Each structure stands twice: as C-alpha cells, then as structure tokens.
Chains A and B, each alone.
Chain A
Amino acid sequence: MKNYIYKIAIAATLGLSFVACSDDFLDDPKPSDVVSEDVVFATRGGAETFMSGIIRNTRGQYVANAHDAGGLNSIYYARTVKGNDIIQAPTWFLSDYAHENREANYRRTSFTWRFSYEIINQLNVFIEGVENSQLSEEDKNNLKGQGLAMRAFYYFQLALEFQHTYTYDSSLPTLPIYKKTNEDAKDLSTMQEVYDFIIDDLTTAIPLLDESRLDKSYINVNVANAILARVYQTTHNWQGVEAAANAAYGGSPSAVLAPSTYASGFNDMSNTEWIWGLAQYSDQSNYYYGAPAAQADHQNPSYNGTYINANFVNKFSNSDVRKLFATKGTAGTWQEFVTTKFTFTFDADVALIRTPEMILAEAEAINRQGGRDTEAQNLLFAVQSSRDPNAVASGNTGDALLDEILLERRKELYGEMGVEWFDAKRYRKGITRDSNHRVVVDLTPDDVKFILKIPQVEIDSNDNFDASVNANK
C-alpha cells in the first residue's frame, strides 16, 4: 500500500512540476535577429541605421535568380538597353532590349513597381518615425529632408515608367500616391497630382538639407537639387532646371569635372564627378546583379551583355577620353564593339547622378529659355573641352544647340542612366534603331512601348481599378 502511494507520489510530482510553469516557458523565446521601433528612432544614429538599411535595399538582389531585377541600377540599365547606342546580347535584359518586357505580368513591370513602392513605404515609415521621435529639430529636419527627397525620387521613377510623359497629357491617371504608411490601397492619381507631390517633397526637402552626409550613397542638398533638375526637365520647367542643376553641381564646372578619372572604370563613388551613387563592397555586394558593369565589362568574367553600336562609336573623336571602345566581334556584326568604360568587380559602385549631367542640364535649360545661347554654349564647351582637348566650341543656337547638347549627354552618360530613353521620352521623340542592331524595333514618338503597364499583381489586389487600366498602354 505504501509502495503504491509512493509510486503515485513520484509520478504526480514529475508530471505536475512541469505543468505549472508553462506560461513562463512560452514567454521566454524572443527573436534574435530584429530590433524594435523604440531603438530605431531613439537617436539620430538609430534613425540613420534605418536610412542605411533602406539604401542597402536599393542596391540588393530584389528578385531572386533574376539578375536584371536587383535594385535601382536594374531600372537604369533597362532604360539603357532601350536606345540605339547600346546593343544587348541575348542574356539578362534581352526582353527590355526587344521592348517586350512591359506586359502586366512581366518581370520588369512588376519589379519596377514593387521595388519602388516598397522603398517608398519604408521611407514613409522613416519620415513618420522621425516626425514622431524626440530627436532635436535639427536632426529631425535633416533626416526628414533625406526621406522626402528619396521618396520623391522613387515616385519620379514610377511616373517616368508607368505612363506617357508629363507633357503628353498631365491629366492621365498615373499612380496611387501614399503619403503615409499602412494606408489602404488607393486609386490612381493624375500625372499632374503625382508631379505636384514630387515637386512639393523636393522643394520641402531642399531647405532642410545641407551638403553633409554619411557618404555619397546618401542624400544631401546636391542630390535633392539634382533630382529636382531631372523632374523639371521632364515637366519642361526650364527656369527650375537651371537653378536646381546649378545648385546640384555648385556652379563651377571646372571644379567638378575630373576628365582623368573617366577611364578609371566608373566603379568608385569617391570620384569628384559623382553626386550620388550606389555603393558596393566586397562583403556587401549584389554580385552579378551589378549592371551596368556586370553587363558591360568584357574583360572580367561576367555576362558580356553590352555591345556598342558602331555608328555611336564613330561619333567620338579619337582624342575624346570617353572613347573607351574595343573591337570584339566581326566588323559589320552587332558584336563588333564593346566598351571598357565600366570595370566589373563585386565592389564596383554604380553612378546614379554625376556633375556633367547637371552642367549639361543647365545648358539645356538656358537654351530652352531662349536668348542666352552663349551661356549655354559655354557650359556645353566646359564639358566638351574637359573630355576632349581638341574640342571646338559650338556655334549652334536654338534647336541645333539643343541637339548638340542632347548628343553630348549620350556621349557622356552612355551605359549609366538610360539617357537616350529619358531624353526621347521627355521630348516626345521616337527612338530609331540602326539596321546593325540585333533586334530592330523602332519607337515612334509617344509610343506605348515607352510605358510599362500597371502590374497584374496590383490589379488583382487593388479594388480601385481593373485590367482596363491598361487599355491604352
């Protein structure tokens, strides 16, 4: 009997001792790879870690196993291959090159949309977090300025891609606008509303910012001005372009041009000419997602995707430092020329905005306002003479000068930001490909091929519109 009781006692003790403490047992595990909101917005340093994380995600590998959909550089390079100067081999970006990657369920469409809006939402969280924090006004202002300018930049990218250009018809429904996080899905705002919003963000941000920043992958007042210059180039606000571009590069062309660095590989953002870049590091790399270098470099092992149109090669004088071309394939074929402009390594930085673009933007703006073409010629020549010691100052005026400026932009910026596409779209011109192209598809002015359709994933989950939203795209 005693034995019997004893056995029950052992059993019960063993059993019950573990039943009692189950709540503590379940409360204990905590995640080890995250931090809370309190930590992030407690200090300026904390908020900066969030901004750093956002910037890091603009240069990552957004879509797994899709080396043409990594970050902001993928959007830029997809525009690059849509022109006439560059021929893309049948590797990544081949459908962008063929002007086919624009259907509602295609990768370019969904990537550009999803990626940009994800970054925008992070920035909305960032801006709200900063506003609600206990940080000093000075810190709040600077951080908020960075957030607003970057948000404007991504809305601008979306506005460029998902509708006709601003001057085509600014009443067209274009994008949903979210000024805050955690809002319900919204209907499309018009192009006018989108640009008003972008310009408002930028003009709010600029007074809050100064030239200081952690490094060139962050936004400061120069970057914000440069973005505003591009926006005004699109809306044809030439006075605005002139002021913003000038502020972006500082007004002194000779101080911000470093021609000797043009041939050094376009992989180092510490370059004087770089206003804004995407950094890469050997231990923080997007690896083969690193277009343009991962496509354009034919010396180091990578995709060997970028070829140069022979007719474009012929536009450079032999003394031009930018004439960085090598023969690869048979003469007369599309594989004839490649460029050595970009050196691919896993730590190759990507140029986002450079000073010569801003100098030429200022020249263009002066030319478009009329009557001051000499000033425009001087600015143009500042770039030309920096690149080519034998350059001759232009005597062109009016539209002829504009054409010369636009050509100079192509020569200066090829491979970088899709300059041909950007200029053709905002001036509502087509892009005609030479017959030596691998795929000859021409774009007429205001061609729908300039536009990405609204992605199917958005149509499926946004109750404000249906597939007819793409009817005329």
Chain B
Amino acid sequence: MRTKFSGILTLLLAFVVQIGFAQQKTISGTVTDDSGLPLPGVNVLIKNTSSGTQTDFDGNYSISANQGDVLEFSYVGFTSQEIKVGASNNISVSLKAGEALKEVIVVAYGAQEERALVGSVVSLDNEVLEKQQLTSVTSAIQGNVPGVNLITSGGQPGTNPTIRIRGVGSINASADPLIIVDGSPFNGNINAISPDQVESMNVLKDAASTALYGSRGANGVIVITTKKGSFDAPTTLTLSAVTGFSDPAVKLHNVLGAEDYMKYYWEAKRNAIMDNGADMATAGQNASNLIISELGYNPYNVATPIDANGNLVPGAKLLWDTNWENELLRKAALRKEYGMTLSGGSEKSRYFLSANYLDQEGSVKESGFERITTRLNLESKVTDWLEIGLNSSMSLSEQKFPTQSGNAYQSSIQWIYNVASIYPLYERDANGGIVRDNLGNPVYDYGSSRPVFSNENAVGSLYNYSTKYKRSNFNINGFAKVNITDYLSFKTNLSYENYLYDHFDYANSEVGYASNVNGRITQDRNITTTTNFINSLNFKKTFGDHTIGADAIFEAYEKEYDRFGAQGEGFLPDYRFLVGRTSPTDAIGYVNKERLVGYLGRLTYSYKDKYYVEGSYRRDGSTKFAKESRWGDFFSVGGGWIISEENFLKNNSTINFLKLRASYGELGNNNILDSNLNELYFPYLQAYEVGYPNGSNIGVYLGGAANPRLSWEKTALTSAALEFGLFDNRIDGTIEYYNKKSIDLIYNQPTAPSTGYEEITTNVGSLRNYGWEFSVNTLNIDSENFKWRTGLNFSLDNNEITELTQQSFINGTKRWEEGKSLYDFYMQEWAGVNPDNGNAQWNQYYHDANNNGQVDVGEGIFDLEEWKYNNPTLANQVSQTTTENYEDATKKYVDGSSLPDIIGGFSTSFEYKNFDLSALFNFSFGAKVYDNSYASLMSGLQRAGFQGSTDLENRWQQPGDITNVPRLLAAQNQSNSRSTRFLYDNDYIRLKALTLGYNLPIDAIEDIGLSKVRVYLRGDNLWTYQTHDGIDPEQSISGVTDSRSSILRTISFGINIQL
C-alpha cells in the first residue's frame, strides 16, 4: 500500500513539473570556432533527452526547447559546452578547440579521457595505420611507440612480428603481449585482422593501464578497436585498391661463382695435402686430380679443369654456373589489396560493414599470403536505457610457406649460403646437356653424389613439396548496456571466437626426403575456440569539483584447443590428398582446455580535473595451476597531476600543458611455453604421457618434472612520466621512466641431468627491465596551405638478471649470471690471422702460475668468468696470449649485447594544398648480431661443395700476408668456429614507409557524385642503412641469425574513392 502511494505521488509530482515548464520555444543561433569561423555539423542536444539537431553549413541551428533545458554543443575535436536556455531565443556559442588532449581513448575494460589517464598508453589511430602497407596490423607499432622492440619476421607475408613491450620479463613463459580486440582476448592469428577495419590500436605499457588484465598483463597489452560507424552520420561508401611490387629490402651476402669456387677449392685442397706433408708442387698436382672426385660434379667440359698451379686449363668452359639466389628468390613479388567499407548511422543506430581482399607474394618463389576479411559492426540505442551492439568478423586466409629458414635441407636461404654454384639446377647428361622428362620439361638435379644436401634440390622442393597454412577465424562479440541511472550502468559482453588452423604438408613421392616411402602428407586441423564473458557495473558521478568512478567487473574465460592430425605415406606421383595413401602412418587427436575467472575492481577519483587518482585490483583463478595455488592477486595504483592547471602555470604562454603521472602495480603471467614455444595447459602436473607405442604395444613415458605448487609469475612495474605541450601545443611530448621487475619467474630451473631431469618447472629467478622513453611531436609549420609535422620517439632499454638459481651458465652465445643481462654475448675472442702460416688465432687467457711467460699445462682458462669465480684471489693475475688451437681459446664477455642501446622512430609529414607526403623511419643502434650465415660462408672451404663468400679473395696465401681471412683449407678446422670474428655491430635506420598522396579537388569530383578521391604512391622499406651488410638487420631478439629470408621492399600505387 505504501509503495503504491509513493508511486502515485511521484507520478503526480512529475505531471506538475511537466506542466510547469511546458513552455516550448524555438531557439536558434550560430556555432563558431574560437577564431569566429562557422562550424557545420555541430551536435546540439537537449541534455538528458534524445532530441537534438546539427548546425548547417554556415554553423546555424534551430531547435525547440523549453526554458530551463540545457543545450549541449559538441563537436569532434572541440570542448563541449552546455548552456541553459533562458529568456533569450538566440544562443550562439564559440567552441574551443580541445584537440588531442581531450580525446577519449580505449583502455582496459572501458574508455577514459586521455587527460585523465594515470597510466602509459600510446594510441595509434587509423591515420597512423593508413600510412603503411600492413599485412599484420601490429607491425605498425614499430617506430611509432617508444619502449617497444619489434622484430619483423622475414619475407614470408602473413607471419607476425615479435613484439616485446618494455623488455623481456620472462624466460620460459611467453613474453608476447596480450592482444585484446573489442574488449575480448584474441586467440587467433593476428594476421586475420585487416588493418583498414581498425579504428585504433592502443599499446598499454605500465601497471596502471594493464593491471585490470591482471594475470595476463605483465607483457603489456595491445588493445585493438575496430571501426564502428557514427551516429547521425550519412552513409559513406569507400572503395580502395592498392597494387605493388616487392623485392628483398636488403641484399644477401655475395657468394662465389663457379670458376672462382673451383680455383679456391683447388687451393684449399692443396693446402690440406701440404698439411699432410706433401711439397707444394705435388700437392698442387694431387689437388688438381682429386677435386672433381671430392666435389662429386664437374661443371666444366674437360675432365681436369684446374691444373697443378690452380689455373683454369685452356679450353675449359663452364657448362653451368648456378645462381641459386636468382632461382629461389623473387625479384618482383606482386601485392594486391582491395577494400570496401560502408558506414554510417542514424540518431539511434550506427553500422560499419567492410570487406577486404589481400593477395601478396613473398620473397621466396611460391610463397604467398591470400586473405579475405569481412566485418559487420552494429550498435543501437534501443531505448534511452538500453544499448545493444554486435561486432562480427570472418577472416579466411591461405599462406603458402615453402621452408625458407632454419636447417632443413630444402630451406631456401640456407641453400643459397651452402650449395656452391658448381652444382647444376637441372640434371645433366654426360655432355652437360639438360636431362628432360617425357614431357620435355627439365628435371631438377637431386644430386645423389653432391656432398652437400644430397638427394635434395631447394628449387625443385618449391614445386615438389607444398606447405600451406589455411586459417579461418570467426568472431562474434556482442554487448548489452543498461543505463540504470545517468551515473550507473551495467554492461554485459559475450564474445566467441572460432579459429581453425589447417597445416598441410606434402612431400613428393618421386624425389626428396620422403621419396623412399613414395611421398608423405601430414595434415593438422586444429580448432581453438575462445569464449569470454564480462559483466560490469560502472559508476561515475561528479559532485562539485569531485568526480568519482567505480567499476566492478566479473570475467570468465575459456579457451579450448582441439587438436586433430593425420599422416599418410605412399602416393601416386604428384597426388596430393591424404586419401590416396597406401598406409596411414600417424593420427593424433586430443582436447585441452584452459579457464580463467577474474574479479576486478577499479576506483577513480579526480578533483577539479586537475588531480587524478586511480586504483585497480584483480583476483584471478587459472586452471593452469593446481587448486591450492591457482588464485593470484594483482593491483595497481596511479596518480596524475595536471600542473598546467595550477595558477602559477595557467595562462603561461610557453607551457600550455604539463602533466605528471606515476603508477605502480603488480601483474602476472601464466602463459607457460614448452621448448617448441607451444602453450602448456597443465604445467604443474608430472604424469605419464601417452603416444609412445613400441610396435603394437601401447607405450607411456613419464613427463618432465614440475613443481606441483607452480603459480603465477609476477611483475612489479613502476612508471613515471612527464607530459608536456608547448607553444600553443605546437610541441608536445612525453618523457617516461619505467622499472619492471619480474619475480617468481616461471622458470625451468636447471637440475643436474644425471638425476634424470634436466629442469624442473617452478617459480624462481627474477629479471629487471628498466629504461627511458621519449617522444616529441611538433607542428613546425601550420599555414592554410602548408602544414609540416614531425615526430620523434625513442627508448633506452636495459635488461638485468637479478636472481638465478645457478651462479651462472652458458646459454648459446650468452652467459647468464646475476647482474648481467640476458643478452650479453659471451664467446671466444678472435685474434686475427697469423701472418706466418695463415692460421686462425684466438685470444687465450691463462694464469701464469710459474711466471715463465707462457701457457703451461693446466694454466689455460677455458671460461674466464667461471675461472675468476672459482679463483677470486687470482682474478687480477690473468695473462693473455693468442692460440691457433680453438679448444684453448677462452670464452669471455666480449662487450656487446643483442639488446640495442636505443631504438625508435622518426616521422615527418607535409601537407600542401591537396598534396601530402609522409615518411616514417625506424632505427636501432648499439646491438650486435652474430652472423651464422656469414660464418658458414667464411669456413675456408673446409667442406667440399659448401659455398663460400667472395670475401675469401682476401685470404692468406703466403707468409707475410696481413689479412683477417685465414688460409683456405679443405680439411676439418676451426677457423669459423664461434668467436667475435662473426659478431658485428647491427645498427640500422630504415625508411619504413614513404607515402605521397594527392586528394582530387572537391569541385572536380562532386559532379560525378564522389565526395573524396585520393591517389597515392607508397614505398615500404625503401631504404636501409646498416652497419653489417648481407643480412636483414631485424633478425631475432637474441641477435643470432637463422638463415632468414629478408623482409620485402614494396612500391605500390593506391586509390581511395569515397561516395
């Protein structure tokens, strides 16, 4: 009864109020900017209602309103204004340009005004993305975001870059950032997202910005928001087309031609025979007689082409001289991309529809990537209290991926660097003529007597093998938002992703590595499904000068990995479907599941839009850990102070904007990887693994040791920054310091292999990454017809091992010990060539115990740091000499790291009337790279048939020669063993993108119904400066080469039409 009464009373009251103010009248006026120019298209809305209008082309509007209503004037890029309707019927306003500093940007579980951010977020909008040819959208981060080390993944299109945000804080857990698309974690391949459908890509770097992702935020977060259309916007159709050609961005190392190779190999052989005691003349003659038999092939038309003095015999002519690089790599790879988007919106709804097709060839012949993506995003305000939206996308791609890196025989780049040009591409008959098959096609030479990579031909393998990846990605992401009051809302968000990955691998039945079983097909078809469910209650209210926000969020996440694969052998020639096999040889299938539950909360408080405080907390439970240790608590606190709002800076003519912000927080990582970088679902379990049958007997095998109490890896991140805007904000920038301590690393702690376990997965060890980040953007010239902007950003990043379970150990080219970085090179020091005998030399350190000035038995030091550790009192009594015996050379720190001292980017853009020109450079200085490929080319031809570098021309030839290249020697030797000989400075600057565009004048295209036509010419990776030639400077974080194909240089022409 009481309720009913109060209900009636409320109604009555409302009625009275309604009558009291129901004096509607027409208000009109003009909206201008602060220089008095009229602003068309400004939204004029009666506050808390849905009635509104827009200003016309001259900035005029008229609207029916009641006295006492509040009119809101809002326009993108300007500060909104509210004016109460009074007695006057005319309200004209002048809007102040707010520009970037008032922008709202997407952050964890929501959006915030950039001004209010207490965390470190770099936002790349679609304008930045449009300035580059992107196949994987995340490539755009390189050179645009300080503090991010990005390594492009070579010349195979559709492979994604390696991204490390603020260093590497994990060893056995993934160091990849979390990727969020439209609010939900993305588990597909990032190449499924077409960059033209992306509105913004935000890189979240510090604790305050990532803490809400809690257990998954430690490596930073990349938040991708797709385009949505706009309310109250006309329908816009945009068509775009880009076509271009690519070639490798840098040249490979130069290799020997056939004639030089034969002469050099003769010399190498002669030297080897002389080492066995023969005199030079005899050795020369023997070498002349022997080399053809050793090389297995004779590219000349005479039986003994090289005489006893190493010269070509008269009349000798080359029958072939194979340039493997030309046969394997494309000189002009085609790239085509077409896109269509349709977007717009009414007062209540907005929509975005897009389709994009990409077809890109890679640098290795037969490699390529083809993709179709479509996306439909819809959003509607159903009532004044309910909003519903749906984002959906579908992406299909096929990647042709012939083996091009690594050490499989057919691997393209390795082949170029290993197989001498004296070996023919096609099979030859006794007279050197090309052998043809029944159809008249030349037959690839598989070289059963070729001493290098016998029974394989990398060029043939491009056609006789096939490696393909098909991916399809379906994504549905819907939300409903209930506005309970104007300060309290509830939002529920459900997303589902289905990612199908099909890996097809065919090996020929006639030739190559599976020919002895008549071919093999291996096919995997794995499905990853991700379901994510977020419920949030959001509160935000202003009380006078105080604004308080609170969010309570619950998240549930499930990822299911459904593995299925089969293998069969025995196929008809060139038959490429599994069904045709004689015997199935393998089948695999299982399902793994991961789940995560999170409870999140965020509190924000601001005072006078000047002081900001924010705290976040998240409690996560993960199925990756046992029940007792699965829950982790993560949090952050942050604060911001807009100093320029203080009286002493307000209206300062130089400093327009100054903000100090700082944050601290603790985050986690549960993404544990095995040695093949596959995700582990139950890393805390030691159990018997199935799948080891022995004949017809089932077999199980006990898996690796793990700590059953394994738990979260934790990272504590401190960050502080100063943001500034100077001279009417013509210059703005940020200086930031970060310190990232990762503790309780999920680490495969080495154990003595004699115990049967080489490692145990546990929480131990810690790393520290710290550094400075700078960015500054300037508007240098800003006139009506000409604008010139520049941007520079860079970071100085450092890495330090702060806790290790062992005193030290050697990990490849590095030595890990507390106080050093993961990336300090540790190897033998090259000491040049002995001018007397042409032998390679290295530095040997020794402890001259008996002070006789020479190295006696037991005095040599193999590992300098280890020795110093074991002999602390003798550390300063170490002498140095050189040795020709590699085994005696001393390993030591060699003053170099694969981590650059400084990485960054520089951008500049010009706009002149309808023309625009923009350029983006990225650079890296101070890193070193160990060039395995070059080491192999400089082996002094010790292995018959293996290719050599043209730099062998500088080899030592006779006593007294001063050179850095040892003598050639066709016998086992250590001259190219790992040492500083092949450790190079790896500084580079790359012109990553250059675009020249022209917008056709409006009056020329209006008549044919178009609103915008833009044509442009673009170059990607056009120019590279590098201190070490022959390899792409982007190799790997660890600074060791792996026969990678070079990234592509692309020149393209594009057109965008909008109607």
Residues on A facing B (Cβ under 8 Å):
1-4, 7-8, 10-11, 14-15, 18-19, 22, 25-29, 31-37, 39-40, 48-50, 52-57, 64-65, 89-91, 94-95, 98, 100, 103, 105, 110, 113-114, 117-118, 120-122, 124-125, 175-176, 178, 181-186, 214-215, 217, 279, 281-284, 288, 298, 300-304, 328-330, 333, 335, 344-346, 435, 439-440, 455-458, 460-462, 466-467, 471
Contacts and interface: CB of A to CB of B under 8 A. Distances in A.
A217 B690 contact: no
Interface in B368-427: 385, 406-407
B556 A458 contact: no
Contact of A29 (B595, B691, B693): B595
Interface in B775-818: 806, 808-810
Contacts of A26: 595, 597, 621-623, 627, 630
A178 B516 contact: no
Contacts of B645: none
A100 B695 CA distance: 36
Given A114-B758, A457-B753, A346 B516 contact: yes
Contacts of A48: 697
A439 B972 contact: yes
11 contacts: A11-B492, A25-B595, A49-B697, A90-B943, A283-B567, A300-B516, A345-B517, A439-B971, A458-B754, A460-B806, A461-B750
A341 B1042 CA distance: 37
B887 interface: yes
B594 interface: yes
A11 B694 contact: no
Interface of B: 6-7, 10, 276, 290, 293-294, 385, 406-407, 446, 448-449, 451, 454-455, 482, 484-485, 490, 492, 512-513, 515-517, 533, 535, 537, 554, 556, 567, 569, 583-586, 590-595, 597, 599, 621-623, 627, 630, 675-676, 681-682, 685, 687-695, 697-703, 750-758, 806, 808-810, 858, 862-863, 866, 870, 887, 942-944, 971-972
Contact of A120 (B515, B517, B584, B756): B756
Nearest to B689: A34
Contacts of B455: 301-302, 304
Contacts of A105: 810
Given A31-B685, A125-B702, A301-B515, A15 B537 contact: yes
A40 B700 contact: yes
B690 to A, nearest CB: 6
Contacts of B944: 90
Contact of B752 (A94, A103, A185): A185
Nearest to A99: B972
A301 B517 CA distance: 10
Given A26-B622, A467-B870, 15 more contacts: A7-B490, A10-B482, A11-B535, A14-B492, A18-B554, A25-B556, A32-B591, A32-B592, A34-B689, A35-B687, A48-B697, A53-B692, A122-B702, A215-B697, A335-B294
Contacts of A282: 517, 569, 583, 585
Given A15-B554, A100-B972, A284-B694, A303 B750 contact: no
Contacts of B702: 50, 122, 125
Contacts of B627: 26-27
B755 A98 contact: no
Contacts of A33: 590, 592, 689-691
Contact of B694 (A36, A279, A328, A460): A279
A292 to B, nearest CB: 16
B754 A52 contact: no
A431 B254 CA distance: 42
Contacts of B533: 18
A14 B484 CA distance: 14
A432 to B, nearest CB: 15
Nearest to A158: B754
B756 A283 contact: no
A122 B756 contact: yes
Counting chain A CB atoms within 10 Å of each CB, which of B294, B455, B700 scores highest? B700
A270 to B, nearest CB: 12
A34 B513 contact: no
Contacts of A125: 702
Given A36-B688, A52-B694, A103-B887, A283 B293 contact: no
A26 B556 CA distance: 10
A462 B754 CA distance: 9
A304 B454 contact: yes
Contacts of A182: 755
Nearest to B858: A471
A117 B891 CA distance: 28
Contact of A11 (B490, B597, B689): B490
Contacts of B971: 439
Given A29-B595, A52-B693, A335-B293, A117 B687 contact: no
Contact of B385 (A7, A18, A466): A7
Contacts of A65: 406-407
Contacts of A124: 756
Nearest to A89: B451
A183 B701 CA distance: 19
A26 B517 CA distance: 46
A11 B485 CA distance: 13
B672 to A, nearest CB: 14
Contacts of B448: 298, 301, 304
Contacts of A39: 688
A22 B687 CA distance: 26
Nearest to B869: A466
Contacts of B751: 185, 461
Given A283-B585, A301-B515, A19 B630 contact: no
A34 B680 CA distance: 13
Given A52-B692, A103-B887, A283-B584, A15 B490 contact: yes
Q: Ordered nearest first, which 5 A-B pairs have the shortest CB separation?
A: A121-B756, A185-B752, A53-B699, A11-B490, A301-B455
